[in-house]
Amino acid sequence: MEDLAALVAALGTERFGSALMDVLHRRAGADMCSAFVVTEGRAAVLVAESTDRDASAFARLASLRYAQRYWRRDVAGLMTLGRAHRKVQVLKRPASSIRDMEYQHECYSDGDVVERLALYRHGMPSIIASAYRARSGGPFAPRHLAAFAEVAPLLHAIIIQHARAGAGVPKVPGDPAPLAAALARLAGLSAREAAVAAFLVSGFPIREIASLLRVTEATAVTYRRRAYSKLGVGNRGELRRRAMELS
């Protein structure tokens, strides 16, 4: 019970995401996790975490894209949420079952995610919380599903209290794709230079940018230097101001 006690103790703080990840890793073998709040038909990211530091950037970006682009296209998820008025509902979704190829690619394949377990509870607000398995570990075992289903009602109660606490919830950076496209078009940056610059504006550290682009950190630094030179800026603050001028 120590993991659940630590999760309760982290309510309303920036430690909550890592504490939730610890619970889902210990109890259900999860490699990544996410949690979303749905209010007035809009989803917002509450938690996006990974047990692997190198995968943390993907967890954040995939969660953001799911909230902004795909949760309304996730038909199985919407149907499950629609049934979750009186109690928490649990859904298992292998990546291979998703027919929306864009959604499958950006939220599963890009991060080598093979399967997702999600809890749904309709309410004010509604909550969607998920555990993910990396391809290297294979799909969730039956014992994982049983453990997830057993703890799901309690997790929902804790997550919704964290959502209502509000002030301690970390802000997930914005999707850098539109800005990257604008920088490439308007400032003559290469695709990689524009991507690095856009990730920097969105708040990602250079280590996570390198992981997302699947290049070395030294290569990401080189792209940053070239982007700064072409944009006539010398630091991240100046980059943000220049990006606002161009976007």
- pLDDT at position 106, please? 87
Residue 93, token pair as written in the block = 């979704």
pTM over 0.85: no
Query: Rounded CA gap, 235 and 135, in Å?
Result: 38
| Backbone φ and ψ of 226, nearest 5° | -65, -40
Q: What is the CATH number of domain 177-246?
A: 1.10.10.10
Percent of the chain scored above 70 by pLDDT? 96
Q: What is the pLDDT of residues 161-178, one digit of tens each?
A: 898 886 434 444 556 777
Vertex 169 angle, CA 165 and 175, to 5°: 140
Q: 68 in helix, strand or coil? A: helix
Query: Rounded CA gap, 72 and 62, in Å?
Result: 15
Query: Rounded CA gap, 114 and 107, in Å?
Result: 10
Q: What is the CATH number of domain 2-165?
A: 3.30.450.80
**Maximum pairwise Cα distance, the chain:** 57
Q: What is the pLDDT of residues 67-83, one digit of tens each?
A: 888 888 999 999 999 89
Structural domain boundaries in the chain:
2-165, 177-246
Spacing of C-alpha 176 from chain mean position = 14
Write the single-letter amino acid at 205: P
Question: Please, which pLDDT band fits residue 247 given cuts at 50, 70 and 90?
Answer: low
In terms of DSSP H, where are the helices of the chain? 2-9, 16-28, 56-65, 75-83, 101-107, 142-165, 177-187, 191-201, 206-213, 217-231, 236-246
Query: Rounded CA gap, 114 and 129, in Å?
Result: 17
Q: What is the pLDDT of residues 35-64, one digit of tens each?
A: 999 887 888 888 999 998 777 778 888 888
Report yes or no: 39 and 69 within 8 Å, Cβ to Cβ: no
Residue 148, token pair as written in the block = 């997830």
